[in-house]
Amino acid sequence: MSVPFFIGVCGGSASGKSTLAQRLTTAIGEPHACLLELDCYYRNRENIPPEHRGNYDHPASLDTALFVHHLHELRAGNPVEVPCYDYRLHRREPGNPLAPHPVVVVDGCLLLALPEVRACLDVTIFVDAPADLRLARRLQRDVAERGRTLESVLEQYLTTVRPMHAQFVQPYLEQADVLIDNQRGLDIAFATLLEGLRQLAHPKLSPWLP
């Protein structure tokens, strides 16, 4: 197999980036594409009292060294063991093996804010959406899927998510190769994403695009 091609999909929390990253992976299809999520690489926090667990939206919350190591291993053609982060227990669990694929779709809010990660990506996509829409989506997701209360989600958004977005996410929008405005529905956003990738006409990516 040739050296994998890495596509980074970033953007604000609940911007729709993860859904679009998954859709892109599915559209390219097995055995040609796989998905690697930065959110799997949060550090363990189970033994820290809730009031001191800190900021999940800051780069320091992530095991960036392990993530970059895994990116390098995949590029070298080696499988990796991707951890699984349990949001209810606030700890990292043993994960699943991931083999290298011709295309590796990488999903994460902070991809562009981490120079050592950005250097591993061949193409980057930024998924943008208005703040009020992202907040509404985050409320729905965290209450339904992560066992959170409405009050705790709002407090986290105001104290860490919003300021960290302003510091570590939004400033990097213009550095992305493809910009997606995701406020008109996922179908339109995905069509824009595919067209943006086609226009790049990268010889290592074009053969795999649907």
Hey, what domains does the chain have and what are their CATH numbers? 5-203 (3.40.50.300)
What are the tens digits of pLDDT across the range 51-88?
656 688 999 999 999 999 999 999 999 999 999 998 77
Q: What is the pLDDT of residue 44?
A: 86
pLDDT at 48 over 80: no
pLDDT at 195 over 90: yes
Strands (E), 15-102: 33-37, 80-86, 91-98
Cα–Cα distance for residue pair 82/41, rounded to 1 Å:
8
Nearest to 18 by CA among 89, 81, 109: 109
Cα–Cα distance for residue pair 11/130, rounded to 1 Å:
11
What are the tens digits of pLDDT across the range 121-139?
999 999 999 999 999 999 9
Higher pLDDT, 43 or 103: 103
Q: Is the pTM of this model over 0.95?
A: no
pLDDT at 162 over 90: yes
Q: What is the pLDDT of residue 28?
A: 97
Q: At what angle do helices 17-28 and 186-200 cross, to 10 degrees?
A: 60
Cα–Cα distance for residue pair 30/51, rounded to 1 Å:
42
Residue 134: count other Cβ atoms within 10 Å of its Cβ: 23
Cα–Cα distances (Å) from 50 to 54, 89, 156, in that order, read: 8, 11, 12
pLDDT at 50 over 80: no
pLDDT at 47 over 80: no
Nearest to 109 by CA among 147, 164, 154, 158: 164
Cα–Cα distance for residue pair 36/68, rounded to 1 Å:
11
Mean per-residue pLDDT, 107-126:
98
3-class DSSP state for residue 179?
strand
